[in-house]
Structure 1
Amino acid sequence: MTEPAGERALPPLSERVRPTAPPRLAHPDVAEWRAVGEPELDAVAELERAISEADHPEYSTTRDDLADELGMSFVDRGRDSIVGLDGSGRAIAWGLVQQPPGQDTLVRSIVMGGVHPKHRRRSVGRLLLAWQRARAEQQLAASERRLPGWIMAFSDDRAAGAAPLFGGAGFAAARFFAGLRRDLAEPIEPLELVDGLSLERLSPERFEQVRTARNDAFRDHWGSQPSSAEQWRAFVSRTAFRPSLSFVAVDPAIDRAVGFVLADVDEDDWARQGFSSSHVPLVGVARAARGRGVASALLAAHLRATAEEGIDFSTLEVDAASPTGAFALYERMGYRPAARETGYTIVY
C-alpha cells in the first residue's frame, strides 16, 4: 500500500500522544458504570430519546443506530463503550469512542453519547467526557501512523452547557454545521441533468458505486475520511434509509454513479418535531463531475419525490465552510437555516 501524502511528515502518533489517566468513575447519581452490551441497548436507546427531546427534536438516535455503531468490527465494546446506570437500572449517561479504519490523511477517534437532561450540571458529563478523552488518547497512542490525530465530537448548539463542557475538557470549537429545512409546499423547480448524464432512483446494484463516489466527493471535506465497506453496509441497511427517495447521476459511458442524494425517513421523529420530514444524510458529486449542475438536479428529483409522498419538509446538514459551495446551493434550492451544530476537536 502506498503511504498517504504527508505520512512521513510527522513522528508516529505513538510518540506524540501521551494518554491522560482515566478518571475514577464515582458519582452519587450513578450506581454502576459498565460497558454497553446487548442487555444495556434498550436502556441507552431510552436515554437517547430523552436527549433528543431536549436537544434536537428533529432527529434521534434509534436502537438500530446504536446497535450498528457498537457492532462495528473496529469497536471493542469492553474498552470503547460505557454506560452509567442509576439504582433502578435506568441509563443516565453513556459514551462511545470509535476509531474508524479510514485513515488516508487523518486518524480520528470520535466520541459520542450524552447525559440525561435531568442529570446535567451535576458533573456527570464532565466525568464521562474525561473518560472518553482518556480512551481516545489510548486509541491514538496505539497508532504508528505518521498523520495528524484528532479527537472529534459534535453537539447541537441547543444542548445547554455543551460548549463549556467541551472547552473544559480541552476541546476547541473547530467547525460549524447548519441544519437546514426545505418546505415542500413551496414550488420545486424542475431541473434536468446535462452532458449526457442520466438520473436514476437508487437501486442496490448502485450501492457500492455510490460508496466509491462518496469517498471521492468527500475527500476534500473537513474531518472526512473514506467509508469502509463494513460501514457502508450498515448505512444502507438501516431501517430509516429510503432508496425510493434517493437518486444517483450515472455516466452511461462508464456505467458508474458520479453523484448522489441519499434520503432517510423516520416516522418516529414526526410527532416530536411537529411535522413530517425526510432527511438527507449525504449529498455528493465526484470531483470530475462537479460544476455541471449535478447536485441541483439530484436534489430537485429528491424534493419532487418527497413532496409526492405528502411529506412536509426535507432536512439536511451542511458544513458552513464547505469547499464546494454547498451552503449557497442549498439556499438556491429553497433550504433555510433551522439549527446549528458545532464540531469540536483536540489535535495531536
Structure 2
Amino acid sequence: MTEHELSPLFERIACPETMPTLAHPDVETWRPVGDHDLDLIVVLEAAMAAADHPEYALPRAELADDLGMSFVDRERDSIVALDADGRAVAWGLVHHPPGHDTLVRSILVGGVHPEWRRRGIGRVLLAWQRARGEQQLAASDLPLPGWIMGFTDDRARGAGPLLESEGFTAARYFAGLRRDLGEPVDDVRAGAGIRVEALQATRADEVRTARNDAFRDHWGSQPRSEEEWRVFLSSAVFRMDLSVVAIDEASDRVVGFVLGEVNEDDWDGQGFSSVHVPLVGVVRGHRGRGVAKALLAAHLIAAGDAGLEYSTLEVDAANPTGAFALYEAMGFRAATTETSYTIVV
C-alpha cells in the first residue's frame, strides 16, 4: 500500500458498539421518527426556520421523502425528542446516501427548538448523531475517505460552536445569492452547436447523467442515484417550466442545466415571490463556451415572465468552476452565508 492508498473504512474507524444514552431532564421521550411524528417535526422545523433562516423552511413532503428513501433505516438513522406535552423539541436524521465514487458520507440534519436551546439537548442529540455516522462509515469496506458532515446557516449562532465541541471542523463556506428579476437580462447565446431549451420530461434521466458528470469535481459531491433523482423531480415544488437545459446538437445530449423550484410557503418569510435554483451545472467537456451564462439567462427570463420577483441559489465560495464570479456577473448578490463542518476519517 502506498502513502496515497487508504485501507477500507471499517479498518480505520472505531465503530461504537452501543449508541450514546439519550437522556435529558426536559425530554420525556426519545424515539425513532414514525409517520405520526411528521407533523410534529414540521412544526418544530418552522420554529427553527423562523429563528435561523426565515426565508426557507422544510416542507412536509420533503421531510417524508427524505425519511422514505430505501437507504434510510428509520429505526437506526432517525430520532425525535418529545416533551411531557408531546411536542417535538428536537429531532435528527443521519443520512447515508448511496453514491460512493470517491467519498463515503454520513450527513447530519435536524436541530433543537429555539425555546429549548442552551439546555444541553443539542449536545445529547449531536453525540447520538455522530455515533450513528461512525457506525454507518464503519460498515463500509471501501478504501475511500469517510466524512461525517453537518451544515449550518451562520445566523444559527450556537450551531457552529456546538459542532466544533463534538470534533467537527469548519471545512467549506457557501453563499446564498438572490437576483432581482425586475432587472434586465442580457441576451446571451451559447457557443456554436449548443441549443438552450426548456426541460422536457423525456430528458430527465439525461439531466441526472449530466449532473453526475458536472459535479464530479465539486467539493463533497457524489453521484445521485436513480431513486434520489426520481424523488427530486417528482417533488411538488419542482418546476419543469422554470428549468432549462443545453443540448449538444451533434450528439443530441444534455450538456448543461439550470433547474428551478417554487415553494410559495417560503414567500412570506422572504418578503418576495421567488424561484430557487437547487442545481446549475455544465459537463466538463463543454465548459468555457458560455453554456452556463446562456442557461442562466434563459432561466431568469422564464422566471420573470412567470411573474416572480427573485431567483435564489447557493454557491460554494471556492467552487472550482468560477461559479461565484459568473453569478455576480449575471446580477446575483450575496444575501446569506452557510458553513459546512466535517469529521474526516
Answering whether residue 124 of structure 2 is matched by residue 149 of structure 1, we say no
Indicate the residue corresponding to 1:161 in structure 2: 158
Using the alignment, how far apart are the partners of 2:342 and 2:47 within structure 1?
A: 25
Which of 4, 11, 14 is the aligned partner of 2:10?
A: 14
AA of the residue aligned to 1:192: R
Instruction: Name the counterpart of 1:111.
Output: 108
**CA deviations over 1:116-175 (Å, ceiling 9, x no partner):** 111111111111000000000011111111110000110100012011100001000000
Structure 2 stretches lacking a partner, 5+ long: none
Mapped to 1, the partners of 2:81 and 2:282 lie a distance apart of: 42
Mapped to 2, the partners of 1:31 and 1:192 lie a distance apart of 60
Matched, 1:297 2:294: yes
Superposition pairs of residues 251-290 of structure 1, within 5 angstroms = 251-290=248-287
Please point out which of 31, 34, 39 is paired with 2:31: 34
Q: Following the alignment from structure 1 to structure 2, what is the Cα–Cα distance between the partners of residues 105 and 266?
A: 33
Q: 2:338 aligns with which of 337, 341, 345?
A: 341
Q: Cα RMSD (Å) of the superposition?
A: 1.3
Aligned partner of 1:83 in structure 2 is: 80
CA offset at residue 180 of structure 1? 0.4
The answer to whether 1:218 aligns with 2:215 is: yes
Per the TM alignment, residue 19 of structure 1 is displaced from its structure 2 partner at its CA by 3.0
Corresponding residue to 1:331 among 328, 331, 345: 328
Q: Which runs of 5+ in 1 are unaligned?
A: 1-5
Task: Number of aligned residue pairs: give it.
Answer: 343
> In the alignment, does 2:58 pair up with 1:58?
no
User: Does 1:204 pair with 2:201?
Assistant: yes
- The list of structure 1 runs, each at least 4 consecutive aligned residues, that deviate by more than 6 angstroms after superposition, is none
- SS of the equivalent of 1:230 reads helix
Instruction: Describe the superposition over 1:88-135 as per-residue Cα deviations: whole angstroms up to 9, x where unpaired.
Output: 211110000011110000000111111111111111111100000000
Distance 1:210 1:239 in 2: 19
User: Is residue 2:275 matched to residue 1:250?
Assistant: no
SS at match of 1:331: helix
Q: Match for 1:194: what amino acid?
A: G
Distance 2:6 2:193 in 1: 45
2:133 to 116, 136, 150: 136
Q: What is the CA deviation profile of residues 6-27 of structure 1, one whole-angstrom value per residue up to 9, with x for unaligned ones?
A: 9x91111111111345322111
Aligned match of 1:93: 90
Greater Cα shift, 213-222 or 186-195: 186-195
Identical columns (%): 65
Residue 229 of structure 2 aligns to a residue in which SS? Answer: helix
Q: 1:233 aligned to 2:230?
A: yes
Using the alignment, how far apart are the partners of 1:262 and 1:315 within structure 2?
Answer: 11
Return the offset for 1:252.
2.0
TM-score (norm 1): 0.97
- Offset of residue 281 of structure 1: 0.3
SS at match of 2:10: helix
Letter matched to residue 322 of structure 1: N
Distance 2:112 2:188 in 1: 44
Distance, in Å, in 1 between the alignment partners of 2:77 and 2:236 is 25
Partners of 2:188 and 2:304 lie apart in 1 by 15
SS state at 2:241 partner: helix
Question: Cα offset for 1:57?
Answer: 1.4
Residue 208 of structure 1 aligns to which amino acid in structure 2?
Answer: D
Which residue is equivalent to 1:3?
Answer: none
